[in-house]
Every structure is written in C-alpha cells, then in structure tokens.
Structure 1
Amino acid sequence: MTADRIVVVGAGVAGLATALRLAPLPVTLVTAAPLGEDTATAWAQGGIAAAIGADDAPALHAADTLAAGAGLSDAGIAGIVAGAGPGLVDWLVGLGLAFDRGPDGALALGLEAAHSRRRIVKAGGDATGAAVLRTLARAAAACPSITVTVGRATALAQDGEGRVTGLVLRTDRGALDLPARAVVLATGGLGGLYRATTNPAGAVGAGLALAARAGAVLRDVEFVQFHPTAIALRTDGPLPLATEALRGEGAILVDAAGGRVMAGIAGAELAPRDVVARAIARRTGRGEAVFLDARRIDVARRFPTVAALCRGAGLDPAVSPIPVRPAAHYHMGGIRVDGCGRSTLANLWACGEVAATGLHGANRLASNSLLEAMAFAVRIAADIRGMDAPAAGAGRGP
C-alpha cells in the first residue's frame, strides 16, 4: 500500500459508487463482510427518486425534499441532489441495471409519501436496493483500479497536525495499516443500536465513532427517522419492512376494527414519515394493534419482497392486513460535510448515511437516500481528483 492510494470504507451504494467514480485512481475498498453482503442498501425496498416524468422537474423534487425536512434542509444541497437524479438513473442503466418499465418501455414511476409527483424509479418491484447493490458490486469487481479488503476499521491514522493519513484495520490476519492520501467513510447508519430497527444488526454507527474520536465535527445526530411500517413480527431486533410504496399504491392503515388510523390527518397515508410514524406510535403506545391493509393490491406480483416476507411469517397480505409498527430506519445526522463531501478533518470525506450533508433536515424524504449517496459519490471523487498526489508518507489537506 502507498500513500497515493485512496481508502473507501464501506461497500454499500455509497462506498461502491465512490470507488467506481474514482477510477482509474487506485482505491482500496474496505468492507466488513464479503462484497454485496450485510449492507443496508441490500435491504432497501424503496427506489430512487428522480424527476424524470413529463409533469415533473428537479425544482419540484427539491421543494418536496425541503418540505419533508421540516425547515432544516439545505436548499442549495437539495437543488444539487435533485438535479442529479435523471443522470444517475442513466448511469445505472449504463451499468446494466434493469429498472421496471411500463408497457410502452418507459421507466415505471411510483409514488411515495410526501412526493407531489410519481417519481420513484424501481427495480424488481420492491427490491431496488438489492438490484443496485448487485449492479455496483459487479462493476467494482470488474474494475482494475479497485482492490477489496475484508476487515473492520478501528481508527483513522493522523499526522501531528490532525490530518488523516490512512486507516488502521483489523483483519483475520491481524492489524493492518493502510496509508492513504484520502479516506472516504461510507459506513452507513446507526439503526442497529435500537431495539426495533429495519437496519442490519451491524449498523451501529462505527463510522461516526471513527470520525468523532479523530476530532471530526458531527451534525444533527438527534434526528433519527422511524419508518412507520415495519412488519410487527416481534418486539425487537431487525424487522422486515413493508415498503412505503404500498401506501403509494393505495394500501391504508387500519386498527383492529378496520377504522382508519390516518383519518383526519393531512396527507393521510401519504403524509411525511414522521407524521405517519407518530400516528401509529400513539395507537401502539396505548396497546392497540395497527395494520397495513393491502388487500386491494396484487402484492405477490407487484411487491414480491414484501410478499415473501409475509409468507415466511405465515401471513397472506391478499387475505389479511399486515401488522405494522414504527422502527428505527435512517439517521439524518452524521459527520458534518460540505457540498463536496469533505469533513472538518483534512483528507477525510464521508458519503451516504454516515454523512450529514444538509439534504434531509429533520426528516428524510422517501427514496432520497440512494440518490444522495450516488450524487455525493460524484462530487467526492471530483474533489479528491483535484488534490495533488503526495509523495509516499507525506500528508496533504484537500
């Protein structure tokens, strides 16, 4: 390993997209599990929000993002990310991702909560995250400038002035030092810390801890989004998800007697996630059960992932409503970064859920997470390219 190498930590959509965008610069991609495994990306049932419909525009997408963020989103960042959506969809198509399409061959656009237009691009109905992950992992495996190393990061290496100079890694062969001129953290969120979560158990905020111990500034760490409709199979641990797109296609929330849970609430089932989650939590906090009634939808055909999860639990959504409850889903806070993904530490960038870009504010708009990660991967790669490559052993700030 040399000091000219770039280290990217994390192999979900954020890490893979960043590594690919950095090509042909030499990149070591550090992953805690074999490529394509144990990432939140693979669990993402939603899609990618992109303003590509005839009645849509990036400005409308940005406006919806700001509204969902409860006044705390950065308008400039929202405009940048929304504007990148159509091009990022084209990039994935170019990599071989087969998005869902209508009878006319055009991309099928779904609707999710707090979106004013149908703009959710999907693959495999409700398996978009897994499809994106497979596509990017395949491209990364074929990219000669990317070397994959399996291990767990334990510390950021720094020089006497606090600049990041590499990564300390624990592997099956022992400790490993990876000198680097740039480190990109793409380690995901912290939902695994919660009793009920839709995240993998390994999502425990490891990247936040690495950055904080090195002296990086964190931002908005108090903002954790709870997804309203985790499938209530148990009281704790990772819970399977009933995608928000079900409500976008007409599924409704009901109590045990069939009464509408969202009656009288602005937006009803398509209100922002925090509004829907609180409405459900008020009921479950009183000991009531809440269900997602999707019987009017052909779940088996249109949402095969949800259908399979239900079958595994002995449920048939065509016959009975699905029991649901809120669960920790996404961390809007993270390592504070600027519009190029730079942290407050020289030579350290962050991408994806571990980063706080200002896009999400207090509440992430549905299907903006994969979009944000890919949009910032482009910006981070461009920023790192603008650095002068140092001589081996020499640190240099961006």
Structure 2
Amino acid sequence: MERKTDFLVIGSGIAGLTYALKVAQYYPAKQVLVITKANADETNTKYAQGGVAVVNDLENDSFEKHIDDTLIAGDGLCNKKVVEIVVKEGPDRVQELIDWGARFDKEKDGDYKLGKEGGHSEFRIIHHKDITGWEMERALLEAVQAQPNIEIVKHCFVIDIITQHHLGYLVTKSTPDITAYGVYVLNLVTNRIEKILSHHTLLATGGNGQAYRTTTNPAIATGDGVAMVYRAKGKIENMEFIQFHPTALYEAGLRGQAFLITEAVRGDGGILRNKDGEAFMERYDERKDLAPRDIVARAIDSEMKRTGTEHVWLDCRHFDVAKFIDHFPNIYEKCKSVGIDIAHQMIPVAPAAHYSCGGIKVDEWGHSSIQNLSACGECSSTGLHGANRLASNSLLEAMVFAHRCYLDIIGRPAVEESAVWPGDAIPAWDAKGTTDPKEMILITQSLKELQQVMSDYVGIVRNDIRLKRAMKRLDLLWEETEQLYQSSSVSPQLLELRNLITVGYLIVKGAAFRKESRGLHFNTDYPEKNELVQNIVL
C-alpha cells in the first residue's frame, strides 16, 4: 500500500504537534499526516513534571542570566548562538501555547508562579502542578484535533527512512545529496507494511531512555529516530551525553519506567541525605542540592557506592504538607501509594536515565544532514544543551525549534508548487524469505542484556575497560539481531530492539572517542577536560 502526503510528522509530542499545527494553519489546503507508534498522547512530553524555563519577569530576571545558566550547565559544548535563539524566542512560543489553551499555575495576583531548579540562578520555571508536560500535551492535542487538515495515525511504527538507497544507489556517509522521500511503516492495526511518501518529513521521535535498565522515560522511548537516521547515513552527534535524573523514586527490583521526583521538589527546599542522615551535597558543590544535574547525579552515585546502598533519601519532612500537595499532588499520591508519608518519612531516590543531550545533528533551522528531513525535540542535537541539559530547557527547545522548522519549510518551491511527488519509483517493502519468529525470548532476552550492559558499563561513571566490554557485547547483540531481522517478519519488539542496539552502539562509540570528562560524560581514566572542545559526530 502506498500513501502520499504534503507533510509527514513522525511523533506526537510537543515538538511534532507544534510543527504540525503551524504548518496546517499556514497551508489549509495541504495535508499534514502525524504518525505515532502508540496512542497520540503517549510521549516523553506527557511525563515532564517540572515545567518550562522561560524569562517572563524582566524586573528580577534577564535573558542574559538564562543564557549564562545554560552555558554553564552545558560545560563548554553549547552553541552560544543557538542558546541565545532559544532563550530569546522562548517567551513568544510559550505565549502561543497559552493562547492554544495551556494552563500554568498562577499566584493570587494573576502572575505566573515561578519555580527554581538546579543550575538556575533565578526563579523562572512556569508549571502546571507537577504534570506540566501532560497539560501542554493536552492543549496541543485539542488544537491539533480541531484542525481539519491534520490526520493522526496511531499504532503505526516507522521502520526506515526511504532514500536513494531504496532506488538501488550506493549511499554512504560521504554522499552529498542524500534525500528523504518518506518512510516504510508497519501498521499495527492491519499488520501490513506500508509506504508513505512526502515532500518533507519531520522527525520528532523523542528520546532513548529504554536503552537502560531504569529510566524515567516511557516504554516508547527507544531511540527510533536517531537509529533510522544513522542507518540512512545521516549525521549523529554527542550521543555519549546521557543525562541521568538524580531523583527517580527507588522501588526495589524495578525495571523499565521509574517514577520521577521532579527537581522542583529540591527547588522548593528538598534536601538529599545519605543513609546516615547526612546532607551530603555541600561536600560536592557550593550550590548543594541545586547544582546542575550531572553534578548531583554523580554525587548520589558516589554516596551509594561509598555506603553500599541502592539509593539515597530526599527529605521533605520540613515542608508545609498542604503546600506540597498543592504543588506536587501526583508525587504525593504516588508516595502515599507505596507507603511513604512525606510528612514523616523521607523519599528513597536514585538516578535513572532521563534525557539524551545528543542526537540527530541539525542546524539552527532544524535541518538534518539529509535533504527534506528535519528533526526537533529530544531526538535532535541542536547545540542548546552541550554536555549537560539545564533543567526545564527541553520543552522550551522543542517549541522554539518546531517553530523554526515551520518557518523554514513555508514558501519552499517543492511545497508551494506540489509538482512531482518524490520517489514514485520506490519499490514496495520486500518481505520475501521471512517468517514469524518462533520464540519471542530471542528478542526479550536480548533487550534485557542490552539494558544490563548499558547500565553496568555505560552509566553515570565510565572507564575504558567498561566501554570496551560494552562494545564487544553490543557487537554480538547486533549480529544476532540483524540475523533475526533478515529472516523474520518485522514486529514492534524486534524493531525497537534493533533501534536500541544502534543507539547503544552510538552512545558507547561517542564515549570511547571522548578522551576527557565533561558534563554528563565522566571517564575515570580521563578525569580532566581537554583544552580542545569538540563535538563527536558519528
């Protein structure tokens, strides 16, 4: 089956929906197709608790302060021009979201309540309780669903980006004009593989936290966009910078998605303590519990290893309980559901994989190295985050770059004229010679092995021996999975495993190339920073 659309958007989080809505409103006669592999609202956006970092109080804050905070957190690898773009364009993008119906918490006088998180010098985080991402996703979905020329196709899994490779041409990393014509997708409703062609494709596929044993990301965060672009010979950069959120709720034996205890809890005065009750952060950084995430995560990791424990404690016993419930109702209910009374008990927390600062290399307009293919949101590497993302900058980046991708695409001749559809000669998917896999354990066990390897060898602290071991095991997993892929009919589980192995390889490869410790990448064999500051492009 073949389908054609003017604009193709892969992913239904804040980045994908913002772009889709803007393009559809500008081109009411053109079709915008949004595809997502799960339900439309099952995205990383939905699980963002803390809020959006944006300067809207110019009496007490400034763009310059927000820029400086971002640059400091990024540890020398931020693109300063991009930082300035995101910080200065951010207020307009947030206002647009408010105009579309998003609700943020306000003070009694009508001003927005502003929170403070690690690495920020001022109170500038606007939020909706402790479910800011959920509220933003809700508002966007309602606006998108009211737009008649946007279609959302759920339960549709993208397999690969279609390029000249599928026309029989040799495509390598050095090919100067690699062009995206669309994608092959597995329709999970019909269980058929379809071909979708488009004038322009936007990847907004989110993160890759599921490469690790414990993550704050939902099950869908399997690095699909990054893996697809890498297979299509596009450029990927800085994948070694995986941010571990310092405070995920610790639940013994948990694998997969952990419940996030937002950084805003520490912004309101939460104190990290070790098993002896000591407030230990003052020994690691003068900013104590509000140091940037890389520093806090490493400090917690150090305390856990020093004391032989699997978690530390977040102390909120001194909080006004009524105010805690008002600001953090979901955290309160979650803690209560597992037997924790925050008024009398501390919350057990441990770091969990949270955010990928690297990804698909794009320029300041969201262009990838592949023509007709843009990317924004967590799957992209814009230069904003550098070696470590400043808290609550991610939702802001997604909105700003979705808008810039939209500005870049409007008025293009290929879109305006709707001349020749790209890739008319591209063949249908060839599944000859494949059969259904006889044992799902071949897939599920390989996923467990991958997550174990990444967590044990490529976590918060690394060294060359661990990275070499990780690469050897990933090589074997890749070989076994490729054999299975070539001989089996595709399934979501197999496709996600294939993508996660590719993402794992890119993280390890980037980490092995970086002979220094910077931001989120800490290698005990190279504890200092290099004088030469560079991005690792794969």
Normalised TM-score (structure 1): 0.96
- Does residue 91 of the first structure (1) align with residue 109 of the second (2)? no
1:340/1:380 contact within 8 Å kept? yes
Contact 2:38–2:220 (CA<8 Å) still a contact in 1? no
Give distance in 1, aligned partners of 2:299 and 2:47. 25
Counterparts of 1:312-351 in structure 2, within 5 Å, are 312-351=337-376
* 1:99-130 Cα shifts (integer Å, max 9, x gaps): 1000101111111111011000001x111000
Distance, in Å, in 1 between the alignment partners of 2:396 and 2:362 is: 17
> Equivalent residue for 1:167?
183
The answer for the alignment partner of 2:279 in structure 1 is 260
CA distance in 2, matches of 1:292, 1:317: 10
Instruction: From 238, 243, 260, give the equivalent of 1:241.
Output: 260
Equivalent pairs counted in the alignment come to 393
Aligned to 1:126: 130
Unaligned runs of 5+ in 2: 170-176, 424-538
Alpha-carbon separation, structure 2, partners of 1:14 and 1:232: 30
Structure 1 residue 386, shift from structure 2 partner: 3.4
1:153 counterpart residue number:
158
Q: How has the CA–CA distance of structure 1 residues 2 and 177 changed in structure 2, closer, same or farther, with 3 Å as cutoff?
A: closer
**Displaced runs of 4+ in structure 1, greater than 6 A?**
none
Q: For residues 148 and 82 of structure 2, what CA distance do their matches in structure 1 show?
A: 32
Q: Does 1:60 align with 2:65?
A: yes
Q: Is the Cα–Cα contact under 8 Å of residues 3 and 195 in structure 2 kept in the other structure?
A: no
Q: Which residues of 2 match residues 352-391 of structure 1 at below 5 A?
A: 352-388=377-413, 389=415, 390-391=418-419
Deviation at 1:204, TM superposition (A): 1.2
- State the distance in 1 between where 2:66 and 2:317 align: 30
Q: Following superposition of structure 1 onto structure 2, how do residues 1-398 of structure 1 map, counting pairs within 5 Å?
A: 5-24=6-25, 25=27, 26-37=31-42, 39-53=43-57, 54-123=59-128, 125-150=129-154, 151-159=156-164, 162-171=178-187, 172-173=189-190, 174-235=192-253, 236-264=255-283, 265-286=285-306, 287-288=308-309, 289-297=311-319, 298=321, 299-388=324-413, 389=415, 390-394=418-422
Deviation, structure 1 residue 58: 1.6
Does the 8 Å CA contact 1:191/1:198 hold for their aligned counterparts? yes
Which structure has more relative contact order (CA 8 Å, sep 6+)? It is 1
The structure where strand makes up a greater share of residues is 1
Q: Percent identity?
A: 42
Q: Distance in 2 between matches of 1:291 and 1:98?
A: 32
The separation in 2 between residues aligned to 1:279 and 1:290, in whole angstroms, is 10
Select the structure that is richer in helix: 2
Equivalent residues of 2:205, 2:224 under 8 A apart: yes
**8 A Cα contact 2:197 2:422, kept in partner:** no
Q: 2:45 & 2:85 partners in 1: Cα distance?
A: 22
Counterpart of 1:122, as a letter, is H
SS at structure 1 position matched to 2:226: helix
Q: Secondary structure at the match of 2:333?
A: helix
Cα shift readout 1:79-111 (whole Å, capped 9, x = no counterpart): 000012211221111111111000101111111
Greater C-alpha radius of gyration: 2
C-alpha displacement of 1:57: 1.6
TM-score by length of 2: 0.71
Letter in 1 for 2:348: P
Whole-Å Cα distance in 2 between the matches of residues 386 and 126 of structure 1?
Answer: 39
Contact 1:3/1:392 (8 A) holds in 2: no
| Alpha-carbon offset, residue 290 of structure 1 | 0.9
Q: Is the 8 A contact 1:4 1:391 kept in 2?
A: no
Q: Deviations over 1:27-79 (max 9, x none)?
A: 10011112212x11111111000011121122211111010001100100000
What code does the residue aligned with 2:295 have? V
SS at match of 1:164: coil
**Alignment partners' CA distance in 1, 2:91 and 2:220:** 32
Give how far 1:162 is off: 2.7
- Which amino acid in the other structure matches residue 121 of structure 2? S
Deviations 1:160-189 (A, max 9, x none): 553101111110221111110111010001
Larger mean CA deviation between 156-165 and 55-64 belongs to 156-165
